[in-house]
Amino acid sequence: MRVFHSVRNLHSWRTKQELLEGPIGFVPTMGALHDGHLSLMQRARKQCRTVVVSVFVNPLQFGETEDLGRYPRSFRADRRLCREAGVDLLFAPPPEEFYPANFQTTVTVNRLTRRWEGEARPTHFQGVTTVVTKLFGLVRPHLVYFGQKDYQQCLVVNQLIQDLNWDMRMIRCPTVRESDGLAVSSRNRFLSAHQRVQAGLLSKALRQGSDVIRTGIRNVRTIQSRMEKIFGSDPDVHLDYLAICDSKSLEPLTQVGGTVVILGAVRLGTIRLIDNLLVRCP
């Protein structure tokens, strides 16, 4: 496995790749790699001749009051995991090279970023779309791998790919979960034992929503109140949103029909967790 920290090395590597056949698969990450990331790499390894992973804690996608400073970083362990997963190239640029002092370009996707995570974290998606635009431009992958865990992000990046006519396909990979259903996340390591139990309630509420829909109930208010009951009245759990939306536009619904996505976000102390479930209504 090769490891590049500089943009210049990546440029010359990519130019040489033009002569080789077969797709380049790309998995962008912020590091602190776990089984969720690994599942993306494994999928890419199966489908592509060359697999590129980036590890870059992107300052642009953190709000001023968010956890950029204490976001987990574990480059040695990440490098080992990538090597073991058969990754060909690990790209981990230092932030000051990636965003030099005079950097002044941002990329914005409009409608899809307004609600949910976009509302809770107003500058987040602009940070995401700016960093992936730069990374996609450098790596020039054929297939890009993203996790359904960040469902809104998948739709936003897909929109970017369509809008800019990039010759690239997104592979959305299923959410990897712990045994109680909690979606694996780099931030889970910050949960106290009590918070870890509370965190499990989010996926439980989503499954409850899906079960209620399967019983034939279509009224969103009714489904929502059944999901909210899962959290009880614990004052330490702050429910940011629990929404049932159109799976393509992410607009909230009043009646369920077709394929819907249930989106959820909770705050436990300073830790914010998100999850979602796609439900196909019979």
Q: Which residues are catalytic?
A: 37
From candidates 112, 149, 181, 245, binder to ligand AMP by CB under 6 A? 149
Does 186 interact with ligand AMP (rule: CB under 6 A)? yes
User: Any contact of residue 29 with ligand AMP (CB under 6 A)?
Assistant: yes
Do β-strands 89-91 and 2-4 pair in parallel, antiparallel, or remain unpaired?
Answer: parallel
- Which residue, among 145, 171, 164, 152, has the nearest Cα to 248 in the 3D structure? 152
Q: Which is nearer to ligand AMP, 117 or 150 (CB)?
A: 150
The distance in angstroms from the start CA to the end CA of the chain is 46
d(CA 200, CA 30): 23
With contacts defined by CB under 6 A, name the span among 33-41, 44-52, 74-82, 89-97 that binds ligand AMP.
33-41
Residues touching ligand AMP, count (CB under 6 A): 17
Q: Does 93 bind ligand AMP (CB under 6 A)?
A: no
**Least separation in angstroms between CB 104 and ligand AMP:** 24
Buried b (16+ CB within 10 A) or exposed e, 104-131: eeebebeebbebbbbeebeebbbbbbbb
Task: Identify the residue among 185, 198, 224, 276 touching ligand AMP (CB under 6 A).
Answer: 185
Q: Does 183 bind ligand AMP (CB under 6 A)?
A: yes
Instruction: By CB under 6 A, tell whether 124 contacts ligand AMP.
Output: no
d(Cα 188, Cα 199) in Å, to the nearest integer? 9
Which C-beta is closer to ligand AMP: that of 181 or that of 209? 181
Q: Which among 226, 228, 245, 224 is positioned nearest to 237, based on CA atoms?
A: 228
Residues 6+ apart with CB under 8 A from 113: 125, 126, 152, 156
> In sequence order, what are the beta bridge partners of 278?
261
Return the number of the residue (153 or 224) whose C-beta is nearest ligand AMP.
153
Shortest reach from residue 225's CB to ligand AMP, in Å: 28
Footprint of ligand AMP on this chain (CB under 6 A)?
29-30, 36-37, 39-40, 146-147, 149-150, 173, 175-176, 183-186
